[in-house]
């Protein structure tokens, strides 16, 4: 009898991990973020966190996966929903938000 593997409810596959890491690099390259980080702390969902702000760095957006509903979810630093749906859609919405909010920030 084969072993049964119980994946976490919010499991993000390797291909999607690589896509998110590339997306984080894209945001950094365009000056819309300062770094990204995989948040894998116990007791919370696995999330791809994007930060901005230099010396006063702050969370910009956190992207996680809801396997039960088969969608990705992006939330801002206050926990408000930014986008949900397929990963491509979520990344497009976050990219648009990052670019528009980056333009609005004082130099």
pLDDT of residue 107: 41
pLDDT of residue 66: 87
Q: Is 86 exposed, middle or buried (0-12, 13-18, 19+ CB in 10 A)?
A: exposed
Residue 51 neighbours by CB distance under 10 Å: 20
Question: pTM higher than 0.85 for the full model?
Answer: no
Residue 37 neighbours by CB distance under 10 Å: 13
C-alpha pair distances (Å), 72 with each of 7, 25, 38, 66, 82: 16, 19, 15, 6, 11
pLDDT of residue 43: 57
């Amino acid at each position: 009898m084969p072993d049964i593997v119980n994946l976490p409810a919010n499991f993000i596959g390797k291909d999607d991990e690589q896509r998110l890491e590339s997306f984080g690099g894209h945001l950094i390259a365009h000056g819309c973020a300062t770094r990204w980080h995989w948040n894998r702390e116990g007791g919370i969902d696995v999330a791809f966190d994007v930060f901005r702000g230099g010396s006063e760095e702050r969370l910009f957006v956190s992207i996680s996966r809801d396997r039960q509903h088969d969608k990705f979810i992006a939330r801002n630093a206050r926990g408000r929903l930014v986008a949900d749906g397929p990963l491509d859609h979520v990344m497009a919405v976050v990219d648009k938000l990052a670019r528009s909010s980056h333009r609005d920030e004082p130099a």
